[in-house]
Structure 1
Amino acid sequence: MLILAGQGNPGPAYAGNRHNIGFRAVDAIAARWGFGPERSRFQGLAREGVIETPEGPVRALTLKPQTFYNESGRAVAAALKFFKLSPADLVLFYDEIDLAGGRFRMKTGGGAAGNNGVRSVTAHIGPDFRRARLGVGHPGHKDRVQGHVLSDFHKSEAAWVSALVGAVADAAPLLAAGEDERYQAEVLRLAPAEKLDPRRPGDLA
């Protein structure tokens, strides 16, 4: 079993926020691979299904914590405990301000880099989980970060946002097979994005 958790805030008021791209990513995976209906589980909204890989089917659960972004760890820890899984069985999808819009990076372990949702997950299960970092760009100054991530994507960003979450879903067999480097490369192949400075305002849109 693989837990694919997205970070975001619950409710329609937040649905279009940069902070909620993690929710959009796991929704896209569940839709692409025909997961079952969404149910309230583990203080979140969950869908269960199977991702086909060359090595065979892999059971997976998408999870959108409804505890608000900064308390994501509570829901994630509950799901891992229920299925008796380790942190290595978790992939956390979240917005990354230190990557330009449309860029994508996988990593395992490390610090929170100021992300309170990642900090919450780490506090509950430790740091050794897999991280799918979805670039949303940086507003240019730390005082503007909160407003940036809690604002909606611009219309001009819609194309790359759609391409990125679609690529994350289409390439999911590599993720399910544990091939994170190949998964990252395939996502970037399917949704190419220039390597730009995330702190340049002109690079956000």
Structure 2
Amino acid sequence: MHLIVGLGNIGEQYQLTRHNVGFLVIDEITKSLQSSNINKSNFKADVLKAGYNLYVKPTTYMNNSGQAVVAIKDYYKIDMEDIIVIHDDLDLPFGTVKFKVGGGHGGHNGLRSLDSHIGKDYIRVRIGIGKPEDKSQVANYVLSNFSKEELNKLEGIITHTIKAIEALKSEEIDEVKSKFTLK
């Protein structure tokens, strides 16, 4: 079983923000799946089950995402190598898609929460959102909406990311990196 987690914040005001790119990918994946909702209050997440996959959007807000993921991971006894986390990455230019296992959180509070609850050895799908010129504006930047130009490009980026996630379910990460890294 794979646990595919999109990081983001709940609430309509955050729907199209840069920080919610993980949620946007999960929303697009699950649109066309035959799935069922799993309602367990201790999960603190929206969870859809489709085949042997769980698609998760934590409802804890970004900074506490680890609480939701650890509850689901432990309940279903999911191995670390079967956890795929999709998140925004300030250190990558907009539109870049990269993959890795482990590593630091790079100041990303959602990853910091995951690392403290489940460890670091999960698969990361990093989607570049760029960064503001003024580093003091990072919080405002990640919580701002994508520009119209970015939104036009985002559909293709999400489609590409979904293909990569499908490949990650059955292929080694190095193979996926060589096929699906977008720069």
Please, what TM-score do these two structures have when normalized by structure 2? Answer: 0.92
Aligned twin of 2:44: 43
Aligned mates of 2:4, 2:174 — CA distance in 1:
17
CA 75–178 in structure 1, closer or farther in 2 if over 3 Å, else same: farther
SS at match of 1:113: coil
Q: 1:180 aligns with which of 167, 173, 181?
A: 173
Q: In 2, are the aligned partners of 1:93 and 1:133 still within 8 Å (CA)?
A: yes
- 1:9-48 maps to which residues of 2 (within 5 A)? 9-32=9-32, 34-41=33-40, 42-48=43-49
Aligned mates of 2:89, 2:68 — CA distance in 1:
21
- 1:5-154 maps to which residues of 2 (within 5 A)? 5-32=5-32, 34-41=33-40, 42-50=43-51, 59-154=52-147
* Structure 1: gaps of 5 or more residues: 51-58, 196-205
Report Cα offsets for 1:121-169 as digits up to 9, x if no partner. Answer: 0000111111110110011232111010000001111122111111122
Q: In 2, are the aligned partners of 1:29 and 1:172 still within 8 Å (CA)?
A: no
Q: More deviation in 97-106 or 176-185?
A: 176-185
Paired residue total: 181
Q: In 1, are the aligned partners of 2:97 and 2:161 still within 8 Å (CA)?
A: no
Q: In 1, are the aligned partners of 2:18 and 2:142 still within 8 Å (CA)?
A: yes
Q: In 1, are the aligned partners of 2:38 and 2:49 still within 8 Å (CA)?
A: no
CA 79–97 in structure 1, closer or farther in 2 if over 3 Å, else same: same
Aligned mates of 1:38, 1:183 — CA distance in 2:
29
Aligned mates of 1:4, 1:187 — CA distance in 2:
17
Aligned mates of 2:148, 2:174 — CA distance in 1:
31
Aligned mates of 1:126, 1:184 — CA distance in 2:
22
1:163 counterpart letter in structure 2: G
Identity over aligned pairs, percent: 33
CA 6–97 in structure 1, closer or farther in 2 if over 3 Å, else same: same
1:15 counterpart letter in structure 2: Q
Q: In 2, are the aligned partners of 1:109 and 1:129 still within 8 Å (CA)?
A: yes
2:93 counterpart letter in structure 1: A
Aligned twin of 1:4: 4
Aligned twin of 1:53: none
